[in-house]
């Protein structure tokens, strides 16, 4: 089954567009878990077990594992394996924003899909088509290309105007062309920029977008859903991390957010 099919099935099954970001931060993990042998994995496992009937996918942010060295990478591998084993219907996105020349990108595709066993990956388009091709050729996987990111400096380059169109629109237009060939593209559009999201939705009326920026980053959920949902009230993967995973009751926070989201669907 492809990532897109897996995603469509679980969205139906769990009636949810919520993606929980598993971004472990040792400073915020409860002390009783920190004492365990594999604190990062144990922390993730608890979140996964509490929320597996509520999400459409999980997202692991590579940096939060890699910054802990070998034990961190081991926890990443173990987390993704655990999801595949216990909850095989839930796809896993590796948020790694990879981007490099073709021969190197081939190695990165191996890393992401064959070592970490992710179902989908975020990639950076700055190096152009040949840097994405080794990813796109993995047709069963989801290739999530950055268009307009959620951070304050996103506009530094992504908003620069090329022949009356900002760069992120140029990227989005290219992605729709690549998607006609490879059928496995998604885009990242930050919830912090609803006006930009509206424009990208116009270019790709049916494509799935990964939406970071709700919560801690200040994105407006209502506006995001109003302008971002597809005609059939889907097409968005709403990613939330800190507000859920470090809360006193992650399941409750996830439920609240799903309820908020589903008001507009």
Q: Is 66 in the site for a copy of itself (CB under 8 A)?
A: yes
Q: Is 64 in the site for a copy of itself (CB under 8 A)?
A: yes
**3 state SS of 250:** helix
| Tokens linked to 101 | 């020349």
| Tokens linked to 28 | 């915020």
Task: Rank residues 122 and 184 by Cβ distance to a copy of itself and give the closer one.
Answer: 122
Query: What is the rounded CA–CA span in Å between residue 116 and residue 80?
Result: 7
Q: Which residues contact 116 (CB under 8 A, 6 or more apart)?
A: 76, 77, 80, 94
| Tokens linked to 102 | 């073709």
Task: Please report how close the Cβ of residue 55 comes to a copy of itself at its closest, in angstroms.
Answer: 20
Instruction: Find out whether 150 and 212 touch, Cβ atoms under 8 Å.
Output: yes
Q: Is 137 in the site for a copy of itself (CB under 8 A)?
A: no
Range 31-60, binding a copy of itself (CB under 8 A) = none
Q: Is 249 in the site for a copy of itself (CB under 8 A)?
A: no
Task: Rank residues 16 and 224 by Cβ distance to a copy of itself and give the closer one.
Answer: 224
Give residue for tokens 């060939």.
Answer: 181
Q: Is 75 in the site for a copy of itself (CB under 8 A)?
A: no
Instruction: Indicate which residue of 46, 97, 133, 256 is catalytic.
Output: 97
Task: Rank residues 8 and 203 by Cβ distance to a copy of itself and give the closer one.
Answer: 203
CA 123 from chain centre, in angstroms, equals 11
Q: Is 232 in the site for a copy of itself (CB under 8 A)?
A: no
Query: What is the rounded CA–CA span in Å between residue 127 and residue 229?
Result: 29
Q: How many CB atoms lie within 10 A of CB 36?
A: 12
Residue among 89, 107, 247, 249 that touches a copy of itself (CB under 8 A): 107
* Number of residues binding to a copy of itself, judged by CB under 8 A: 55
Q: Is 125 in the site for a copy of itself (CB under 8 A)?
A: yes
Q: Is 86 a catalytic residue?
A: no
Query: What is the rounded CA–CA span in Å between residue 153 and residue 7?
Result: 30
Residue among 9, 38, 52, 124 that touches a copy of itself (CB under 8 A): 124
Q: Is 115 in the site for a copy of itself (CB under 8 A)?
A: yes
Instruction: Find out whether 213 and 190 touch, Cβ atoms under 8 Å.
Output: yes
Q: Which residues bind a copy of itself (CB under 8 A)?
A: 23, 61, 63-64, 66-70, 73-74, 77, 97-102, 104-105, 107-108, 110-111, 114-115, 124-131, 146, 149-158, 160-163, 167, 170-171, 174, 212, 217
């Amino acid at each position: 089954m492809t990532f897109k099919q897996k995603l469509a099935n679980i969205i139906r099954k769990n009636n949810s567009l919520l993606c929980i970001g598993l971004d472990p931060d040792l400073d915020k993990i409860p002390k009783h878990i920190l004492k365990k042998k594999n604190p990062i994995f144990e922390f993730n496992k608890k979140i996964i077990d509490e929320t597996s009937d509520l999400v459409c996918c999980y997202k692991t942010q590579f940096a939060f594992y890699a910054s802990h060295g070998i034990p961190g990478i081991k926890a990443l591998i173990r987390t993704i394996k655990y999801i595949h084993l216990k909850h095989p219907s839930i796809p896993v996105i590796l948020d790694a924003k990879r981007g490099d020349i073709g021969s190197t990108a081939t190695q990165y595709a191996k890393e992401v899909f064959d070592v970490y066993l992710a179902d989908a990956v975020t990639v950076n388009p700055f190096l152009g088509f040949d840097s994405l091709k080794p990813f796109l050729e993995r047709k069963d996987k989801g290739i999530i290309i950055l268009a307009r990111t959620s951070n304050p400096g996103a506009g530094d380059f992504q908003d620069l105007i090329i022949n009356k169109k900002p760069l992120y629109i140029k990227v989005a237009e290219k992605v729709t062309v690549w998607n006609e060939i490879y059928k496995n593209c998604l885009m990242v559009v930050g919830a912090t920029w609803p006006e930009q999201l509206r424009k990208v939705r116009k270019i790709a009326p049916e494509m799935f977008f990964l939406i970071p920026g709700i919560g801690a980053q200040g994105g407006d959920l209502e506006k995001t859903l109003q302008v971002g949902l597809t005609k059939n009230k889907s097409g968005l993967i709403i990613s939330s991390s800190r507000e859920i995973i470090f809360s006193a009751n992650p399941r409750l926070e996830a439920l609240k957010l799903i309820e908020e989201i589903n008001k507009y669907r």
